[in-house]
Amino acid sequence: MDKLTGKNLTKEYSKGITALKNVSIEVNKGDIVVVMGPSGSGKTTLINMLGLLDVPTEGTVDIDGRDINKLKERERCEIMNSTFGFIFQFFYLIPELTVVENIMLPLWIKEKSYRRIRSYYEAAEKLLEEFNLRNRKDAYPSHLSGGEMQKVTICRSLVCNPEIIFADEPTGSIDKKSSEMFFNFVKNLNEKKGITFFIGTHNETFLQFATKVVYLNQGEIENIK
pLDDT of residue 129: 92
pLDDT of residue 137: 95
CB neighbourhood size of 66 (10 A): 11
pTM: 0.93
Give me the residue spans of the domains in the chain. 1-83+167-225, 94-161
Per-position pLDDT tens, the chain of length 225 = 899 999 999 999 887 889 999 999 999 999 999 999 999 999 999 999 999 999 999 999 999 999 988 888 888 888 998 899 999 888 999 999 999 999 999 988 887 776 778 888 899 999 999 888 999 999 999 999 988 998 999 999 999 999 999 999 998 888 888 888 889 989 999 999 999 999 999 999 999 999 999 999 999 999 999
pLDDT of residue 37: 94
Extended strands (E) in the chain: 3-12, 18-28, 32-36, 58-63, 66-67, 84-88, 164-168, 196-200, 212-217, 220-224
| Fold topology of 1-83+167-225 | Rossmann fold (3.40.50)
pLDDT of residue 34: 98
Q: What is the DSSP letter of 110?
A: H
pLDDT of residue 25: 97
